[in-house]
Amino acid sequence: MAIPTPHLDKINAAIINDKMPQPAIDRLVAGLPRYHQWIEAMNAVEGTRDEVVAQLVQLFNDYKFYVDFDLIYCCEEDFLYRQKGQLKLDNTVIEEFLPNLVFKAFPELNNVNFGPTKCFSAAYFKTSLQAVTNGGGLSIRTKDQDFAISKKLYIKSSHDAAFAQADSVETYLGYVTAECKTNLDKTMFQEATATANDVKSALPGAKYFLLCEWLDMTPVSTAPTDIDEVLLMRKAKRINSNIRKSFNSHAGRTEKENWYREYLESNPFDMAVFSRFIGHIDSLLNDEDPAENTVLADGFF
């Protein structure tokens, strides 16, 4: 199964970016072997599910620290740090890590797709009573998901019982979907709430998770929403804005270099959070339709 490489894609895109200063390009090119070492190390991981998760999270922490600190923060050119929101070099690391994590944790899942995917959210028909269409003008709406466990889905509609003339579309049905945020604020949470509603409307049995690196809001209950859970990957809050603003210049980053290194090292991505995410997926895989004899024995369903 081919694992998607959104992080590598962003590195390559940044290297050929016309606005990228040459010293930053040289830095990105020099860092490519470090990326490939990370991928090779993940591919070599073996053991029980718990051992696999522990090893992969450690490798992820090591590589993410390299990207955040060595590659971006310590760069003498300000472009990489100032434009990191647009370049997406740092936040695509998690998008590339999650498919590898789930693939290694559930090797039996060999008939599904892992990774960033445009997933089905709704179907509608662009037609009228007098319009001539093959199948009612079948159209669909999709939503980009940062991570999804999905299956390819083919939908066909026709006014003819034999489907001699038909409209057809191809899409993906997301059974587990997740939005990955570097900093989770209230606006992002509200947007995720709407997305989760679309996911559950399209597939009521689906699971929707919100994963964030740094928390940038007062926590609120997910109970009244369709979000299954918000997972705080570092279990930490975002750095205050009065400190962050000094990072826009190389001089400011150099002054805070030791402080920032210690901040990252003291707030690593937490293995227990990823284990919980894997546990949610495992419970979904083991969720079977109730059998009548089991229901009668248990007294509930």
CA distance 56 to 43: 9
pLDDT tens, 76-135? 999 999 999 999 999 999 999 999 999 999 999 888 999 999 999 999 999 999 898 999
Residue type, 5: T
What pLDDT, on a 0 to 100 scale, did the predictor assign at position 297? 74
Q: Is residue 42 exposed (0-12), middle (13-18) or buried (19+ Cβ within 10 Å)?
A: buried
Question: Which residues lie closer than 8 Å to 199 by C-beta, 6 or more apart?
Answer: 119, 121, 143, 174, 177, 206, 208, 226
In this prediction, residue 151 carries a pLDDT of: 96
Half-sphere exposure of 200 (CA within 13 A, CB side): 13
Residue-level pLDDT at 168: 95
Residue-level pLDDT at 110: 85
Q: Where does the pLDDT of residue 289 fall: very low under 50, low under 70, confident under 90, or very high at 90 and above?
A: low
pLDDT of res. 215 = 97
Q: What angle do CA 104, 106, 40 make, to 5 degrees?
A: 10
The pTM of the whole model exceeds 0.85: yes
Please give the mean pLDDT across all residues of the chain: 95
So what's the pLDDT on residue 290? 62
Is the pLDDT at 235 greater than 80, yes or no?
yes
- Each residue of 5-42: pLDDT tens digit? 999 999 999 999 999 999 999 999 999 999 999 999 99
Q: Is-contact 67 79, C-beta < 8 A?
A: no
Average pLDDT estimate for 230-246: 96
- Domain borders along the chain are 1-110
% of the chain exceeding 70 in pLDDT: 97
φ and ψ at residue 270, rounded to 5 degrees:
-90, 125
**Tens digits of per-residue pLDDT, 34-76?**
999 999 999 999 999 999 999 999 999 999 999 999 999 999 9
pLDDT value of residue 287:
72
The pLDDT assigned to 121 comes to 94
Within 13 Å and on the Cβ side, how many CA atoms surround 30?
Answer: 11
- Strand ranges (DSSP E) for 97-166? 113-125, 138-157
What are the tens digits of pLDDT across the range 164-203? Answer: 999 999 999 999 999 999 999 999 999 999 999 999 999 9
Integer Cα distance of 96 and 45 in angstroms: 16
pLDDT at position 85: 93
Single out the residue of 90, 71, 70, 152 nearest to residue 118, CA to CA.
152
